[in-house]
């Protein structure tokens, strides 16, 4: 039986986790409905890999998926602030109820630990920087509320002693396999692919809003540590780099790395987005023993190289 279940394992973060686990000699089961994940992100058929094609809102499918697993890395979810504003019910059903389904099924099946992909959007309108896990949550969108609800379920189940949980609050993740064709994708993937095509990316707002961008390899390291490290029940850990970059600075760095000669267009700020974001990564270092090893610029170089390859392949 597989030791690990990765929900959303065909997606951006999930597929990198699957790849790292298999490389480490682990057996992995994936549950994914392919609503956003891609089959090509998954490994070829292997004795160390199983696939359950199902939605985490399907309780029977979730029960079958967790059976025999020791650790669940929960990456499945419905992303996007803007999409949650348009359709808050589905965001809640997937992000909150889907997480509850996994916790109940995991507890019944004897799963030891669930590592939850939380979101820095939980901090929302808080003006305090850097964002500490001890700060009060202030969600600004249905997406943020739904992800925070999943966090609360994780903490409650852990404090009741029903299943160990670790909540990883992701800051802005980027890297290879992030789907730039989706309007809900991360800004780095959208900017990079536009610049590679000689097009002008669109900066929303004045471009001075800031984010803590973290490369996918740093996120994988945090998850692998969270799966095995002894921790307090329901602990929350920020996953970022502890560096603050404006959207305009990001654009300039990408333009320099790519060698493009275009300027951005501008548009109105997006409702529900915080102005500034910066992770306090003290717990990441002290609780999980993880130090971000890939800088923003190095991560951008690797990501641009991957998108360049995809552009060549697809042309």
Which sign, positive or negative, has the C-alpha torsion 136, 162, 165, 120?
A: negative
Cβ distance 151 to 139 under 8 Å?
Answer: no
Cβ distance 224 to 168 under 8 Å?
Answer: no
The CA distances from residue 308 to 183, 188, 215, in Å, are 20, 14, 17
Cβ distance 228 to 288 under 8 Å?
Answer: no
What order of strands is seen across the sheet that includes strand 4-7?
49-53, 28-32, 4-7, 71-74, 113-119, 164-170, 235-239
Out of 143, 153, 215, 307, which one is annotated catalytic? 143
Does the annotation count 307 as an active-site position? no
Which residue from 136, 118, 115, 119 is spatially nearest to 127, judged by alpha carbons?
136
Cβ distance 144 to 272 under 8 Å?
Answer: yes
Joined together, the tokens standing for residue 213 give 């961008």
DSSP helix/strand/coil, 293: coil
Instruction: Catalogue the active-site residues.
Output: 143
């Amino acid at each position: 039986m597989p030791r690990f279940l990765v929900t959303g394992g065909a997606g951006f973060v999930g597929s990198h986790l699957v790849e790292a686990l298999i490389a480490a000699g682990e057996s992995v089961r994936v549950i994914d409905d392919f609503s956003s994940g891609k089959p090509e992100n998954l490994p070829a058929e292997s004795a160390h890999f199983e696939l359950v094609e199902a939605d985490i809102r399907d309780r029977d499918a979730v029960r079958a998926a967790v059976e025999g697993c020791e650790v669940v890395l929960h990456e499945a979810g419905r992303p996007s602030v803007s999409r949650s504003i348009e359709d808050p019910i589905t965001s809640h059903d997937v992000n909150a109820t889907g997480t509850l389904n996994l916790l109940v099924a995991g507890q019944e099946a004897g799963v030891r630990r669930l590592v939850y992909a939380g979101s820095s959007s939980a901090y929302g309108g808080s003006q305090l920087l850097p964002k500490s896990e001890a700060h009060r949550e202030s969600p600004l969108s249905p997406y943020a509320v739904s992800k925070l609800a999943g966090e609360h379920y994780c903490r409650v189940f852990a404090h009741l002693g029903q299943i160990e949980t670790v909540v990883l609050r992701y800051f802005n993740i980027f890297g290879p396999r992030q789907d730039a064709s989706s309007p809900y994708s991360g800004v780095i993937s959208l900017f990079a692919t536009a610049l590679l095509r000689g097009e002008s990316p669109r900066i929303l707002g004045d471009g001075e809003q800031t984010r803590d961008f973290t490369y996918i390899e740093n996120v994988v390291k945090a998850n692998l540590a969270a799966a095995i490290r002894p921790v307090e029940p329901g602990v929350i850990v920020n996953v970022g780099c502890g560096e603050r970059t404006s959207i305009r600075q990001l654009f300039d760095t990408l333009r320099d790395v790519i060698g493009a000669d275009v300027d951005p267009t501008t548009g109105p700020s997006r409702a529900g987005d915080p102005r500034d974001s910066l992770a306090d990564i003290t717990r990441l270092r002290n609780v999980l023993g993880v130090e971000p090893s890939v800088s923003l610029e190095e991560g951008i170089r690797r990501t641009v190289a991957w998108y360049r390859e995809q552009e060549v392949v697809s042309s």
